[in-house]
């Protein structure tokens, strides 16, 4: 019997506490830090339980501190995010104001030259009239001066019209649009002009092209601007290729020419207002094209090599609700 008593004591004071310790540590490893275990033992096992309880108290205190700190940090992040958004809004407002100032200064500079020419020629006409002798008023000289005045007035009018088109570009009126039809329409519209400039038109249109939600009139305007620029870039003739393709979640439309190309240093500037290498105009053409594409949540990029030509790629989001199920085969049509 003494042996049985020894076994029971061993089981009670050693085996069961160790099993209890094993279960306790398993809960701790699963992240349960709220439980505590107390045993009536002054042995090493009892002291081990006390040490574990103390460790859990410190861990839980640390965990509570981390939770409070994370909550405080999230609150601070939300505050800073809101401040950042407000700062970005304010920055955009200042950028718009700066742009308006730049526009005003540029328009003032561009218009001042023809206004000075108008003033001088009006003075000369007045002088010629004042020098009339026996009703002879130098009709040829006056006619020449009036022709110059007419030309300068038209130049001012064209500048102001280009400026107004850019400043008052309205938001797009979205509807389902077939880009292939838009491309064909523009090609038909510009066919005679291209022929007169010894430029051949080539179309490469994807069959079963998904529709896009867009403002058809504005897309036509953007394409015409790109095509006219391309024709101007081929003074000795060449090829103007218009193509479309499905590129996943977007539809791409490309305008490629075989013209003189754009210097590498100018590629990043061509979409900026007032940047132009032409003798006339304010340089709003490509800025308007970019605004039209971006107003449709799209992107436009430019690739060019001197002496080889230029390619403009515009991508517009697809109206997936209307996407046909046929494969993306391509057809080529030379004009």
Q: How many domains does the chain fold into?
A: 2
CA-wise closest residue to 233 among 180, 197, 209, 191: 197
CB 137 within 8 A of CB 128: yes
Domain that holds residue 163: 101-167
**Residues 155 and 179 placed together within one structural domain of the fold:** no
Residues 276 and 211 in one domain: yes
Q: Which of 136, 167, 198 is the last residue of a domain?
A: 167
Shared-domain flag, residues 194 and 322:
yes
Residues 183 and 156 in one domain: no
pLDDT for residue 149: 76
pLDDT at 331: 34
User: DSSP for 155-173?
Assistant: HHHHHHHHHHHHHT-PPP-
| Same structural domain, 146 and 206 | no
Query: Do 107 and 231 belong together in one domain?
Result: no
Statement to judge: residues 327 and 224 lie in one domain: yes
Taking the model in full, what pTM does it have? 0.53
**106 and 194 co-located in one domain:** no
- Both 254 and 128 in one domain: the answer is no
Same domain, 160 and 180: no
> Which CATH number is 330's domain given?
3.30.565.10
Domain assignment present for residue 45? The answer is no
What pLDDT tens digit does each residue of the chain (335 aa) get?
Answer: 455 555 565 555 555 666 666 666 666 666 666 566 666 555 666 667 677 777 777 777 777 777 788 888 888 888 888 888 877 777 766 666 566 666 666 666 667 667 777 777 777 777 776 776 555 566 677 777 777 777 777 777 766 666 666 666 678 888 999 999 999 999 998 988 899 999 999 999 998 899 899 999 889 989 998 999 999 999 999 999 999 999 888 999 999 999 999 888 888 888 877 667 666 556 677 888 888 898 898 999 999 999 999 999 999 998 655 444 334 333 333 33
Residue 28, Cβ neighbours under 10 Å: how many? 15
Give pLDDT, residue 330. 34
Q: Is residue 56 part of a domain?
A: no
Q: What is the pLDDT of residue 238?
A: 94
């Amino acid at each position: 019997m003494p042996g049985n008593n020894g076994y029971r004591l061993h089981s009670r004071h050693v085996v069961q506490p160790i099993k209890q310790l094993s279960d306790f540590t398993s809960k701790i490893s699963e992240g349960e830090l709220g439980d505590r275990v107390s045993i009536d033992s002054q042995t090493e096992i009892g002291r081990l339980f006390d040490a574990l309880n103390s460790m859990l108290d410190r861990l839980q205190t640390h965990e509570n501190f981390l939770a409070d700190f994370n909550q405080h940090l999230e609150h601070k992040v939300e505050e800073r995010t809101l401040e950042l958004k407000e700062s970005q809004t304010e920055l955009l407002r200042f950028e718009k104001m700066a742009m308006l100032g730049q526009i005003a200064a540029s328009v003032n500079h561009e218009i001042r030259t023809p206004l000075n020419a108008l003033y001088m020629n009006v003075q000369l006409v007045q002088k010629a009239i004042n020098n009339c002798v026996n009703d002879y008023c130098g009709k040829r000289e006056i006619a020449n001066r009036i022709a110059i005045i007419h030309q300068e007035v038209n130049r001012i009018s064209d500048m102001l019209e280009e400026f107004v088109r850019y400043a008052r570009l309205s938001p797009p009126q979205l509807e389902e649009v077939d880009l292939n039809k838009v491309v064909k329409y523009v090609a038909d519209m510009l066919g005679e002009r291209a022929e007169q400039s010894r430029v051949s038109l080539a179309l490469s249109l994807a069959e079963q092209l998904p529709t896009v939600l867009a403002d058809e009139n504005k897309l036509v305007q953007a394409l015409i601007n790109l095509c006219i620029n391309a024709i101007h870039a081929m003074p000795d003739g060449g090829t103007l290729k218009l193509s479309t393709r499905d590129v996943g979640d977007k539809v791409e439309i490309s305008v490629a020419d075989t013209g003189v190309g754009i210097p590498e240093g100018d590629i990043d500037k061509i979409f900026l207002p007032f940047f132009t290498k032409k003798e006339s105009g304010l340089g709003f053409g490509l800025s308007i094209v970019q605004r039209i594409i971006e107003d449709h949540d799209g992107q436009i990029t430019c690739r060019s090599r001197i002496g080889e030509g230029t390619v403009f790629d515009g991508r517009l989001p697809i109206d997936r609700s209307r996407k046909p199920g046929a494969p993306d085969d391509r057809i080529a049509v030379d004009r």
